[in-house]
Amino acid sequence: MSSYPTNKTSGIGESVSDLTQTAKDAAGAELAALREKVEALMRDRVTPALAEVAGRAEDAAHGAMDAVRRQTGALSASVREQPIAAIGAAALAGIAIGLLLRR
């Protein structure tokens, strides 16, 4: 009779081991499928969206550079036309900055 519990116990152990392996395999398959879905989502949606945002940022940067160039040209022309006013404005700006830095 002592051999009967041993066989029964070893059969349960094998069943548990088989069940554990089946669960591991199923979880691995589910994880692989989920990984494929995430990669497809990244490839199909996220990457194009990032490329679009990068393109918009580049366009905005070019627009800002063009605006700075135009403003610089306009300021240079204004200084050439009215040098005394430009010197006065620069002096007032310097005084204002100096007063603000003292506080």
Could you report the average pLDDT of every consecutive run of 10 residues in the chain (103 residues)? 53 79 87 89 84 91 94 90 92 94 87
Contacts with 86 (C-beta within 8 Å, 6 or more apart), sequence order: 78, 79
pTM value surpassing 0.95: no
Q: Which pLDDT value is given to residue 6?
A: 52
Are 53 and 45 in contact by the 8 Å Cβ rule? The answer is: no
Cα-only R_g, the chain: 37
Contacts with 78 (C-beta within 8 Å, 6 or more apart), sequence order: 86
Are 86 and 79 in contact by the 8 Å Cβ rule? The answer is: yes
What three-state secondary structure class fits 76? helix
